[in-house]
Amino acid sequence: MKEVLKMEKAEIVEHLIKKAGYSRRQFAEMIGIPPTTLNSMLNRGLGKASIDNVLKVCKGLGITVEELEEMASRGLNEDEINGFVKESSSPYITGEMELPIYGNIAAGALSTVDPVTKENVEYIKLPKIMLGKYSNRKDLFALKVNGESMNKVIPNGSYVVCKPIQNDELKEDDVVIFSHDNEYSMKRFRRDEENRLLIFSPESTDRKYHDIVIPYDTMNDLKIYAKIVWYAVIL
């Protein structure tokens, strides 16, 4: 029986970074955080780090925060760690993905969207490592965010990478692209089962933005197009 290694989350992250073939500095630059920030996270523990930076680290390794928590709580043997890194990280070490940019999405009130044709579509190239477990999907696309209603999480001008989903694939706290009555927006999703409501909430420093609330009995007018799996601000 192989020995189970019990490690803190920061130790697991450092182990996975090394197994993927990166130094601390290389990995920090790859995921877009200062090397000093990553050093602090690994030396002092992830519990003192911002959730945004923890999410970036996990995305770079192709894991979720929940998967990292599970690895720390139950422990892993060496074969599991090696296998995990081989499965999750090796596709990202080299190569890029070219994603179509299907125009702008409103991070504000519901609004109409200008159509994008095959003739005027643009593309954005991203390192595969940035997309984690989504790096081999063929259906991803990008949008440019226009508006301030999600600026605590996704600033105006960001590019977001989207994974198509259906209404029945919605999960609590997903940030989604949706339309209602043929108008489009991007918001955080939650469900109010007691009152039979679907709620799409802004996360903004501007208080003028409010929840978009859709009763269950008007869901026929609702269409969920995609969930956000990655974003970046290009300066």
CA distance 203 to 153: 7
Report yes or no: 123 and 98 within 8 Å, Cβ to Cβ.
yes
One domain for residues 58 and 125: no
CATH number at residue 190: 2.10.109.10
Is residue 113 helix, strand or coil? Answer: coil
One domain for residues 26 and 118: no
Residue 3, domain member (yes or no): no
CA distance 56 to 182: 33
Quickly count: other Cβ atoms within 10 Å of residue 166's Cβ. 9
Residue 226, domain member (yes or no): yes
CATH number at residue 84: 1.10.260
Report yes or no: 104 and 145 within 8 Å, Cβ to Cβ.
yes
Query: Looking up tokens 């954005």, which residue turns up?
Result: 124
One domain for residues 209 and 227: yes
Report yes or no: 101 and 144 within 8 Å, Cβ to Cβ.
yes
Please tell me the total count of domains within the chain. Answer: 2
Q: What is the pTM of this model?
A: 0.58
List per-residue pLDDT tens for the chain, 235 residues long: 455 556 788 888 888 888 777 788 888 887 888 889 999 999 998 888 888 899 989 888 878 888 888 888 877 666 555 555 444 444 333 467 889 888 777 664 434 444 445 566 788 888 776 777 787 788 899 998 988 999 988 889 888 999 998 888 888 999 999 988 777 889 999 999 999 999 999 999 998 999 999 999 988 888 899 999 888 765 5
Q: For helices 51-61 and 65-74, give the axis angle rounded to 10 degrees.
A: 80
